[in-house]
Amino acid sequence: MVNATEFRSAVKGWLEENFPLALKGQTAMLLELASVQNNLEGDILLWRQNLAQAGYGAPTWPKAYGGAGLTHPQAKILAEEMKRVGAFNLIPALAGMGVTMVGPTVLEYGTDDQKARHLPGIASGTIRWCLGLSEPSAGSDLASLTTKAVADGDNWLLNGQKTWTSGADISQWCGALVRTDSSAKKRDGISFLMLPMDQAEIKTRPIKLIAGASPFCETFFDDAKASKDDLLGKPNEGWSVIKRLLQHERQSQTSASRTGSAREAFQDTAKRYVGVDAQGRLDDADLRIRLANHLMDATAHSLTVRRIREEARGKVEVSAAASILKNTATQVAQIKSELTLELMGYQGLGWQGDSFNEEELDNVRSWLSGKAMSIYGGSYEVQKNIISKNILGLPENTQKG
């Protein structure tokens, strides 16, 4: 096996040969383009192709399914070296819910045929996935869903409505949680189906949010077709599949900071806006204390993420600890946005105009959109229930069914 030093040297060489220098440091631009576009061109297209060819889009996946077969420590080195040169892995953003959620679940529950058909497209960033989970009357209580699927020859016919379907209007495939046995108990009789979005029987309608741009959609199924070969897991056992998928989602949401090239230290941003006293300290004692508390919380969160990843090395399962990290990541990110808004003062409230710079306009949008972090991926309260039952061992206090 290649040691860490040799692997790092190999990655450095690969980046020198394959990363277009014109994209250096353009992490934000790459991420935004990848999140809204399927048709890339020029250097961005070349970078996607180079990542896919090396398997670096989903680096820890098996090579047979488009990954690079890296260990988690090797994947960390890859990320570090990309950050060092101002590069960014845009394939997870291009794949929508594919790399972080659908793919890992297919790897665990999928048949060999399903893995061969679906995973390479995700790992290369050429196929975008969305997830049909929440419904108008089934949010945190997802098991109350009413979207139905009825067997029809070689297919399932889906009827119903999903909401908050991120990227539904630009995705090629959808993983949908549907009811396949209405006579069963609430958490039974549910299945997870994968289906193509390019059907006249599927309609999407974007949902506009207060922060401006929004990935969310309403999705309507009217006799939409899913092949019986695209049932993930066993019939009527989709609840187990979706619990696993949501664990992967929570694990992917544990980072409270942005990836990519280095950014100005938060305390330096604060000093730039608020100013410093004669000792060079932030010239607002109360804000200084709250900023210090935030930085300690952010560091504690980061160290806890690292510790849990080390403890989980070599294990396939995703532990309930992801719920703890999801909640702490939410707290750290939301408090940072609040503090940034406060230290920027009037400049932190701009929506448009030449009197506000890009950083200020970006923060007010992040502040608004970040409020949703307490809800999506399982609400803050749902995570607390998971923590109480699965980590602390407290008794079940919700209705069974």
Residues 83 and 154 both lie in one domain: no
The predicted structure's pLDDT at residue 363: 85
Residues 288 and 180 both lie in one domain: no
CA dist., res. 134 & res. 379, Å (int): 12
User: What distances in angstroms separate CA 282 from CA 8, 271, 285, 298, one per listed residue?
Assistant: 39, 6, 7, 19
Residue 99 lies in a domain: no
Using the 3D structure, point to which of 94, 112, 143 is the last residue of a domain.
Answer: 94
Average confidence score pLDDT of the chain: 87
Residue 397 lies in a domain: no
Residue 116 lies in a domain: no
Contacts of 170 by beta carbon, 8 Å cutoff, 6+ apart = 36, 37, 38, 96, 128
Residue 401 pLDDT > 60: no
Residues 140 and 51 both lie in one domain: no
Res. 241 pLDDT band, cuts 50 70 90: very high
What confidence tens digit (pLDDT) does each residue in 221-239 have? 999 999 999 999 999 999 9
Split into its structural domains, the chain has a count of 3
Using the 3D structure, point to which of 210, 236, 262 is the last residue of a domain.
Answer: 236
Q: Is the pTM of this model over 0.75?
A: yes
Residues 381 and 282 both lie in one domain: yes
Contacts of 260 by beta carbon, 8 Å cutoff, 6+ apart = 27, 28, 31, 83, 86, 88
Contacts of 384 by beta carbon, 8 Å cutoff, 6+ apart = 323, 327
**Residues 338-354, mean pLDDT to the nearest whole number:** 89
Residue 319 lies in a domain: yes
Residues 272 and 210 both lie in one domain: no
Residue 52 lies in a domain: yes
CATH of the domain at 315: 1.20.140.10
CA 230 to chain CA centroid, Å, is 23
Going by C-alpha positions, the residue among 169, 197, 151, 209 that lies closest to residue 376 is: 209
What confidence tens digit (pLDDT) does each residue in 242-298 have? 988 887 776 665 554 443 344 678 889 999 999 999 998 988 999 999 999 999 999
Residue 316 lies in a domain: yes
Task: List active site positions.
Answer: 249
CATH of the domain at 207: 2.40.110.10
Report yes or no: 191 and 158 within 8 Å, Cβ to Cβ.
no
Residue 110 pLDDT > 50: yes
CA dist., res. 387 & res. 144, Å (int): 22
Residues 367 and 257 both lie in one domain: yes
What share of the chain has pLDDT > 90, as a percent?
53
**Residues 313-318, mean pLDDT to the nearest whole number:** 55
Residues 232 and 257 both lie in one domain: no
Lowest mean pLDDT among 98-102, 218-222, 373-377: 373-377
CA dist., res. 31 & res. 322, Å (int): 24
Residues 374 and 287 both lie in one domain: yes
Residue 25 pLDDT > 60: yes
Residues 227 and 194 both lie in one domain: yes
Residues 165 and 90 both lie in one domain: no
Residue 105 lies in a domain: no
- Phi, psi at 224, each rounded to 5°: -65, 145
The residue range of the domain holding 44 is: 4-94
Using the 3D structure, point to which of 94, 115, 143 is the last residue of a domain.
Answer: 94
Residues 294 and 387 both lie in one domain: yes
Residue 244 lies in a domain: no
Going by C-alpha positions, the residue among 98, 58, 93 that lies closest to residue 78 is: 58
The predicted structure's pLDDT at residue 261: 40
The predicted structure's pLDDT at residue 259: 38
Helix or strand run (H / E) with residue 365: helix 358-369
Residues 228 and 260 both lie in one domain: no
CA dist., res. 345 & res. 341, Å (int): 6
Residue 333 pLDDT > 50: yes
